[in-house]
A and B are shown apart, each in its own frame.
Chain A
Amino acid sequence: MLALIDAFPETALPPEAEALRGEIKAFLAERLAGMSGRDRARTWTGFDRAFSRDLAERGWLGLTLPKEYGGGGRDAFARFVLVEELLAAGAPIAAHWIGDRQSGPLLLHYGTEAQRRKYLPAICRGEIVFCIGMSEPNAGSDLASVRTRAVRDGDGWRLNGSKIWTTYAHQSDAMIALVRTAGTPEDRHNGLSQFLIDLALPGITVRPIRLGTGESDFSEVHFDNVALPADALVGVEGNGWAQVNAELAFERSGPERMYSSLVLLDLWASTLDENADAADIELLGRLVARLGSLRAMSIAITGKLAAGESPLTEAALIKDLGTELEQAIPVGIVDAIGKRPDLACNANLMSTLAFLLQLNHVFSLRGGTREILRGMIARGLGLR
């Protein structure tokens, strides 16, 4: 029997985690009242520091970090419930998203005690915004070929190179970057290290990349002879590839990989009345069925993360299926609406739909492309 088939065991959200839900729902209903569908549809790409600080005040940032560092001391299931509610409501969570999901857990695991004391409480208070420096102008999916390089310089390091497609670098305070500390791009996974970079340091230029939609979610970052202190190194020198891979299970398996179009789905569903076209009702049912299966899979992976496992192949599988669904929702709805040119479409629904239709192709690029993920799944099946 192939192990992957049984890698998503039936897993329940424990009652302690479910107990959080009511309070979160009540807060979001009040705090987000009147927000447009289009703004809600941005979900984890909607940037709002004030909103993140409001969540922090309620103890909802760094939920899984230990209490001694200002965190909630809760497990991955509690965070699943929190994130599910934030995404379903379309809350603007980008300002704390990277720090909460990845940088915090990474620093907890690989950071020095001094790094933990310095950064984790700030993450939990919503005071510091993190970004992740992975892709480079000549290293996209082929991440191991990064060329940005840090060389030893006295006690510290000297950093040169560029990162690109870094989500919200222009709004961030700090970046955790994967850079080369030894060897050449031909050495692949060897000689890579992670650094925590204060983006206010001299020699750093950050330029937002303007998208066709007029928005700027990404930036380009240049490092020109940047002097990094010794304690900028995160974890072990040369261990960067392994550390990054440990992060990827967190990055790929969460509810954000299936709920990016949920606001649109619910907005559209609310316009279907008892005279709705049978084909529309069927479409709704097909999308619900896919989401039902994905949610159960995501909870199963949450259980593995909670148990300290790093289910990379499973995370790749769920991300590919989840982003496929996120893409299918606007594609199905635009056709459902467009087949009735004689009916007026409500403006809120239309602007939400138009926003997602201009963005949905990116869902299967960000965080690992479809082809890379499928290659990982194939390896998980024992094919290469």
Chain B
Amino acid sequence: MSDMDAMLTVPFRRLLADIAPPAAVRAAEGCRGVPPMWRDLVASGFLDALVPEDKGGAGLALHDVFALVAATGAVCLPVPFAETMTARALLAARGAALPEDAVVVLAPPSAIIPLAAAATHALVPKDDRIALVALGDVGPDPFGAGGGSVAADAPEVLAVPAGSIDLAVFAAGLTAAKMAGAMARLLEMSVRYANERVQFGRPLGKFQAIQQQLAVMAEQVVSAQVAARIGMAGAHFDPVRVAMAKTRTGEAAHQVVAIAHAVHGAIGVTEEYDLQLLTRRLKQWQLAFGSESYWAGRLGAVRRCAPVDTTADFIRLHLAEMVGAASGEAHARA
């Protein structure tokens, strides 16, 4: 276990297990308002993880918090923790600050804004500014998972110059990390179920047809996890890395969800069973902030124009920052 895991990830996962059990996730579904576990998250201090140290935060880099964001996906955390953490850092870097009790979603153009129903505010792009707007009614979420939309006339609270910030990149990068966390959890649940459920006198996991499907699921989960980590690699969100992350997680989600439900059978879609909590959100996240085709289009357009000889060069050069950060860290440890 790395130092970062011991200091950050393990305590955070423990906190989530306490404050966001499946019952709390179910209780928040269909409600408009900030769920009670928000207070615990504020008290935990994790929300300032990305805020620079000289502004009172922990000064962590993006890649340090990947595991936290993935963990919120794995438990279907019904409040926009990752989004608020990101908004706090984004504003702090521009000399602004959120209102103290603001619970924020990122709202670039999107078919749906996940967790809007649990938020008080949204960051939205407005011409050459990023504005914080106060949320009123966010409308229904056809996925029943607390998503919604931001009204065009939502009142502006404050704004900062957008500079090169593309909120869609931020939102998609965080969403890909949550998807990776949720898919890893689906794989665990599916493997456990396959080893427990007996049919024809044997556990499902003894049947080659099931084994082959779960192997495919594992491949997709791992590939998506690695891609999502790339999406949050380095110090800042990068459009090419996020495009890889959201494309790959979006593609993987189809197969992963299908196999999870195939292995579980009908029990998987019932209200009392947790599987559907994850798979309904995965579908919503796949749709949110640009699907795999949207991000593949952006990625392909950058690759087409890139002044490189090979795609291997293209990938290597775009991961250079991540590689630099990681090797610097390895160096420090050595």
Contact = CB atoms under 8 A, between A and B. Distances in A.
A289 B244 contact: yes
B300 A282 contact: yes
B309 interface: yes
Contact of B227 (A11, A289, A371): A289
Contacts of A380: 218
A380 B221 CA distance: 14
A380 B222 CA distance: 13
Interface string A244-272: 00000000000000010010011001001
Interface centre among A4, A278, A282, A321 (most CB of B within 10 A): A282
A297 interface: yes
Contacts of A373: 215
B296 A383 contact: no
B88 interface: no
B23 interface: no
Interface string B278-319: 000000000000001101111111011000011111111011
A96 B210 CA distance: 40
A357 B57 CA distance: 55
A258 to B, nearest CB: 9
A87 B311 CA distance: 12
Interface residues of A, number: 57
B168 interface: no
Interface centre among A292, A295, A377 (most CB of B within 10 A): A292
A381 interface: yes
B299 A378 contact: no
B314 A288 contact: yes
A265 B311 contact: yes
Please report whether the interface of chain B is mostly helix, strand, loop or mixed according to DSSP: helix
Contact of A285 (B206, B243, B310): B243
A2 B188 contact: yes
Interface string A352-381: 000000000000000000010111011011
Given A383-B191, A384-B211, A289 B243 contact: yes
B206 A384 contact: yes
B285 to A, nearest CB: 16
Contacts of B244: 288-289, 292-293
A5 B311 CA distance: 26
B205 interface: yes
A317 B218 contact: yes
Contacts of A12: 322-324, 326-327, 330
B319 A289 contact: no
A128 interface: no
A210 B221 CA distance: 40
Interface in A301-350: 317, 320-321
A17 to B, nearest CB: 10
Nearest to A378: B211
B270 interface: no
A377 B218 CA distance: 8
A13 B298 CA distance: 27
A266 B309 contact: yes
Given A5-B221, A371-B212, A296 B297 contact: no
A88 B223 CA distance: 21
Contacts of A212: none
Given A10-B229, A296-B230, A281 B301 contact: yes
B222 A290 contact: no
Given A262-B311, A266-B311, A374-B215, A292 B303 contact: no
Contacts of A289: 227, 243-244, 247-248, 251, 295-296, 299
B315 A383 contact: no
B199 interface: no
A375 B222 contact: no
B311 A291 contact: yes
Contacts of A383: 191, 194-195, 205-206, 210-211, 214
Contact of B184 (A5, A287, A292, A320): A5
B319 A374 contact: no
A288 B299 contact: yes
A381 B184 CA distance: 12
Contacts of A287: 311
A204 interface: no
A33 interface: no
A292 B205 contact: no
A8 interface: yes
A382 B212 contact: no
A267 to B, nearest CB: 10
Contacts of B188: 1-2, 5
Interface of B: 63, 184, 187-188, 191, 194-195, 205-206, 208, 210-212, 214-216, 218-219, 221-227, 229-230, 233, 243-244, 247-248, 251, 292-293, 295-301, 303-304, 309-316, 318-319, 322-324, 326-327, 330
9 closest A-B pairs (Cβ-Cβ)? A285-B300, A285-B296, A285-B299, A378-B211, A374-B215, A284-B300, A281-B300, A377-B215, A289-B247
Given A5-B225, A377-B219, A383-B191, 20 more contacts: A2-B187, A2-B191, A5-B184, A8-B222, A12-B327, A269-B311, A280-B300, A282-B300, A284-B300, A288-B315, A290-B223, A290-B251, A292-B318, A292-B319, A300-B226, A374-B211, A374-B215, A374-B216, A382-B191, A383-B205
6 contacts: A285-B298, A289-B244, A290-B251, A300-B226, A317-B215, A317-B218
Interface of A: 1-2, 4-5, 7-8, 10-15, 84, 87-89, 259, 262, 265-266, 269, 272, 276, 278, 280-297, 300, 317, 320-321, 371, 373-375, 377-378, 380-384
